[in-house]
């Protein structure tokens, strides 16, 4: 009855919606299926904007042997109402141009075959051509936007923390050190005059900013030289980090962690329903846990609490980095630190109140021999210091949790891990 409203609801092809007003449409995309028949040929073409492909109906004389699964095409024609329930419109082709051919014999993906995530992982330069990985990338993009809007709507200022840094925030020694290369550096390989590393966390830089802003966040790549082949560790991953000033309670932190998680997930489920459904129906292998002892502990806790996200607070003081606040009033020596554990993944967020008391921070840094290195950090406590705290959320682990994906390498466009840096 109202083809325009149907068209509008067919959001992936909004361009076509505008084109239909002038009765001519152009679709550029990749062929997902070809069905030649006696008088007609039917194609499905996908432009990457959604899981849905548009059906093209063409006269058999427009058939071309180069029209194969995976080839890039440009189709012009008239957009029409379709008789099929599932797709409100189809394109009646007037012209079809093969922009880039794709030899089906050599192409590593086969029509109608469902390739495993392990298989497509071996092909990082081509895996975005599969339904599963293109869905993942759309979800990832939507989740990124959702996280930024959460922080924007809640009064946080975004800070671009540096990728190159001279500090080891976590003190775990999992740093990638930078070495200049090339002929210009033969005689001067000490580029920064101090050892410089890829950042393991933007926390300390956010803490600098929390001396002037009450709420700050950053969302960027983070690097850890973990010699681990585990299904939840990468050498390069994205971390969402927030720092909140004028707070003395872990509840203020857990509330923000929970809110970020909720609002991003609600938006992803609302806007990427089809893509998420693809994972839940076809890809989810069932939640499996890793086998290291720590993960087993996390598994036990999450299960014990009814397989829901769980906050674990107040860790033994010595297990946490130098910046964690000493819970002096606790009977056991603990730090005001909190981890969020989620089903299927384990630790998703790590956070703490930061030690704002100069004497205690100084004493701890002295004990670990870092007093001089972190003199600038002590300055933050000397000048207008406030109680504050923050956390980091591993973005890939978040995606693993929401989609039920077993291996972290399947939720990042180009995974980096020990002995692997493809492309």
Burial degree of 376 (CB within 10 A; 0-12, 13-18, 19+): exposed
Q: Are strands 197-198 and 215-223 parallel, antiparallel or unpaired?
A: unpaired
Please identify, using beta-carbon distances, which residue of 71 and 161 lies nearer to ligand 4AD: 161
Angle subtended at Cα 60 by Cα 59 and Cα 62, rounded to the nearest 5 degrees: 75
Q: Are strands 89-100 and 54-59 parallel, antiparallel or unpaired?
A: parallel
> In angstroms, how far is CA 263 from the centroid of its own chain?
15
Burial degree of 179 (CB within 10 A; 0-12, 13-18, 19+): exposed
Burial degree of 155 (CB within 10 A; 0-12, 13-18, 19+): exposed
Please identify, using beta-carbon distances, which residue of 16 and 324 lies nearer to ligand 4AD: 324
Please identify, using beta-carbon distances, which residue of 115 and 121 lies nearer to ligand 4AD: 121
Please identify, using beta-carbon distances, which residue of 57 and 208 lies nearer to ligand 4AD: 208
Please identify, using beta-carbon distances, which residue of 142 and 396 lies nearer to ligand 4AD: 396
Nearest distance from C-beta of residue 249 to ligand 4AD, angstroms = 16
Nearest distance from C-beta of residue 193 to ligand 4AD, angstroms = 26
Nearest distance from C-beta of residue 275 to ligand 4AD, angstroms = 22
Those residues with Cβ within 8 angstroms of residue 6's Cβ, 6 or more apart along the chain or in another chain: 81, 88, 89
Nearest distance from C-beta of residue 230 to ligand 4AD, angstroms = 8
Residue 331, φ and ψ in degrees, nearest 5:
-65, -35
Angle, helices 395-403/250-271, rounded to nearest 10 degrees = 50
Whole-angstrom CA distances from 325 to 311, 340, 390 are: 17, 18, 11
Please identify, using beta-carbon distances, which residue of 93 and 348 lies nearer to ligand 4AD: 348
Nearest distance from C-beta of residue 126 to ligand 4AD, angstroms = 24
Nearest distance from C-beta of residue 233 to ligand 4AD, angstroms = 4
Please identify, using beta-carbon distances, which residue of 344 and 394 lies nearer to ligand 4AD: 394
Residues forming contacts to ligand 4AD in the complex (CB under 6 A) are 169-170, 201, 203, 224, 226, 233-234, 237, 239, 241, 347-351, 390-392, 394, 396-397
Give the count of beta carbons closer than 10 Å to the beta carbon of residue 32: 18
Could you give the CA distance from residue 168 to residue 111 in angstroms, rounded to a whole number? 48
Could you give the CA distance from residue 349 to residue 346 in angstroms, rounded to a whole number? 9
Residue given tokens 């409100």 in the structure block: 88
Please identify, using beta-carbon distances, which residue of 104 and 221 lies nearer to ligand 4AD: 221
Nearest distance from C-beta of residue 282 to ligand 4AD, angstroms = 25
Please identify, using beta-carbon distances, which residue of 7 and 341 lies nearer to ligand 4AD: 341
Tokens representing 262 are 């909720």
Give the count of beta carbons closer than 10 Å to the beta carbon of residue 103: 10
Could you give the CA distance from residue 92 to residue 77 in angstroms, rounded to a whole number? 5
Rg of the chain, C-alpha, whole Å: 26
Nearest distance from C-beta of residue 171 to ligand 4AD, angstroms = 10
Nearest distance from C-beta of residue 310 to ligand 4AD, angstroms = 13
Nearest distance from C-beta of residue 238 to ligand 4AD, angstroms = 8
Beta bridge partners of 326: 335
Please identify, using beta-carbon distances, which residue of 344 and 390 lies nearer to ligand 4AD: 390
């Amino acid at each position: 009855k109202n083809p325009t409203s149907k068209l509008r609801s067919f959001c992936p092809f909004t361009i076509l919606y505008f084109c239909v007003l002038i009765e001519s449409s152009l679709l550029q995309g990749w062929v997902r299926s070809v069905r030649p028949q006696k008088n007609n040929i039917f194609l499905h073409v996908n432009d990457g904007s959604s899981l849905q492909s548009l059906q093209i109906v063409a006269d058999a004389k427009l058939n071309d042997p180069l029209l194969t699964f995976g080839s890039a095409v440009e189709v012009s024609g008239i957009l029409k109402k379709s008789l099929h329930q599932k797709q409100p419109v189809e394109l009646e082709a007037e012209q079809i141009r093969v922009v880039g051919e794709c030899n089906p014999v050599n192409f590593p993906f086969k029509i109608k075959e469902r390739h495993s995530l392990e298989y497509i992982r071996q092909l990082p330069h081509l895996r975005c051509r599969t339904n599963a990985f293109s869905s993942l990338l759309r979800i990832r993009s939507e989740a990124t936007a959702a996280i930024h809007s959460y922080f924007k709507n809640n009064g946080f200022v975004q800070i671009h923390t540096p990728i190159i840094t001279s500090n080891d925030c976590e003190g775990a020694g999992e740093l990638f050190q930078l070495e200049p290369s090339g002929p210009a550096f033969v005689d001067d390989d000490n580029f920064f005059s101090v050892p410089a590393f890829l950042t393991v966390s933007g926390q300390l830089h956010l803490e600098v900013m929390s001396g002037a802003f009450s709420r700050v966040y950053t969302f960027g790549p983070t690097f850890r030289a973990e010699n681990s082949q585990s299904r939840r560790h990468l050498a390069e991953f994205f971390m969402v980090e927030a720092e909140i000033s004028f707070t003395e309670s872990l509840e203020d932190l857990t509330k923000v962690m929970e809110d970020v998680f909720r609002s991003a997930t609600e938006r992803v489920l609302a806007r990427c329903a089809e893509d998420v459904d693809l994972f839940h129906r076809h890809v989810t292998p069932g939640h499996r846990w890793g086998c290291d002892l720590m993960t087993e502990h996390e598994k036990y806790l999450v299960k014990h609490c009814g397989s829901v996200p769980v906050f674990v607070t107040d860790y033994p003081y010595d297990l946490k980095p130098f910046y964690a606040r000493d819970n002096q009033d606790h009977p056991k020596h603990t730090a005001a630190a909190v981890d969020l554990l989620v089903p299927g993944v384990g630790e998703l967020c790590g956070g703490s109140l930061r030690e704002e008391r100069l004497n205690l921070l100084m004493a701890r840094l002295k004990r670990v021999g870092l007093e001089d290195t972190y003199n600038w950090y002590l300055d933050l406590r000397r000048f207008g210091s406030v109680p504050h705290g923050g956390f980091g959320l591993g973005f890939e682990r978040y995606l693993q949790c929401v989609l039920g994906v077993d291996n972290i390498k399947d939720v990042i466009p180009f995974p980096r891990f020990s002995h692997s840096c493809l492309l």
